[in-house]
């Protein structure tokens, strides 16, 4: 270890002098200072020098070290190479066609693997990122109106509980209307998944039967268009909790109850989560 980069400003590191005494021989750099020095160096040496440095990296070279939570002992440093991240970006891009038009809200800590992978993917897309915190997420959702959202199961579970707690306080008629809309949304989503061939294929599965299933699903879905429009209108308030522009939502670094996953239509991303 030669250098430690500190993200928070110097005013938050009052005890830094004590740390320096314990870690003699290690250079401490604040992010703001590092950015200024980096810009000076880029102007002095030219872009070509830094381009060559990037091009010299290989897939097996170390990209980052992420530490485990330490729930079963001392935290362990997990070494992740560049291929781990490029593979993750490629897999996400396979089913989420992201672009520079997308935007998201970041609120997980940067040492969380799901957050780190999200940030790397968004940089690869050229997308926009807005930093937030748990207490300000609802207000920030309305300001930023994210198109992509990634979180851990606990947040989705909390939002699910909040929505259903609100529904229970409404009139019996509104409760029935909400549950009807949710049921219709589940049916139409299942039909859409069949049409898109989103389900896994087994070796014994008959291809002709699958084509027939997709045709029948298409017919049923067309017949449910008016009901789908109605259910979408009823559930509009739920979508507006996220700013109303969400195109894709993912759950990373942990399992989520299937009924909550289905409610939000959240594809589960099990990435290279560091384990104890």
pLDDT of residue 274: 47
Residue tagged 């790397």 (tokens): 120
| Euclidean distance between CA atoms 219 and 256, whole angstroms | 32
CATH classification of 62-151 is 3.40.50.2300, yes or no? Answer: no
- pLDDT by residue for the chain (276 residues), tens digit each? 788 888 777 776 666 666 666 777 788 888 888 889 888 888 888 888 888 888 898 999 998 888 887 778 888 888 999 998 899 888 888 877 888 999 999 888 777 787 888 888 889 999 999 988 888 888 999 999 999 888 888 888 888 898 899 999 999 999 999 999 888 888 888 888 888 776 656 666 777 888 888 888 899 889 888 888 888 888 888 888 888 888 888 887 677 888 888 788 776 654 445 444
| Euclidean distance between CA atoms 176 and 159, whole angstroms | 20
pLDDT of residue 268: 61
Q: For residue 78, which of 102, 111, 54, 108 has the smallest C-alpha distance?
A: 111
| Residue ranges of the chain that CATH labels 3.40.50.980 | 62-151
| Euclidean distance between CA atoms 223 and 191, whole angstroms | 12
């Amino acid at each position: 270890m030669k250098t430690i980069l500190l993200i928070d400003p110097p005013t938050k590191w009052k005890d830094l002098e004590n740390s320096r005494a314990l870690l003699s021989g290690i250079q401490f750099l604040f992010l703001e200072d590092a950015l200024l020095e980096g810009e000076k160096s880029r102007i002095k040496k030219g872009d070509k020098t830094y381009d060559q440095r990037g091009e010299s990296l290989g897939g097996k070279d170390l990209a980052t070290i992420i530490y485990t939570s330490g729930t079963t002992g001392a935290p362990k440093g997990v070494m992740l190479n560049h291929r781990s991240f490029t593979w993750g970006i490629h897999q996400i891009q396979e089913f989420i066609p992201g672009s520079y038009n997308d935007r998201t809200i970041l609120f997980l800590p940067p040492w969380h693997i799901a957050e780190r992978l999200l940030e790397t993917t968004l940089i690869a897309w050229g997308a926009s990122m807005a930093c937030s915190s748990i207490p300000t997420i609802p207000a920030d959702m309305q300001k930023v109106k994210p198109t992509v959202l990634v979180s851990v199961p606990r947040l989705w579970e909390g939002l699910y509980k909040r929505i259903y707690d609100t529904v229970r306080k409404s009139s019996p008629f509104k409760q029935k209307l909400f549950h009807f809309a949710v049921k219709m949304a589940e049916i139409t989503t299942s039909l859409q998944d069949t049409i898109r061939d989103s389900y896994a294929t087994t070796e014994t599965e008959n291809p002709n039967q699958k084509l027939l299933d997709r045709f029948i699903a298409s017919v049923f879905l067309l017949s449910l268009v008016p009901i789908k429009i109605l259910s979408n209108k009823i559930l509009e308030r739920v979508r507006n909790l996220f700013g109303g522009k969400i195109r894709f939502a993912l759950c990373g670094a942990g399992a989520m109850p299937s009924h909550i996953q289905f409610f939000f239509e959240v594809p589960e991303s099990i990435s290279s989560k560091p384990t104890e």
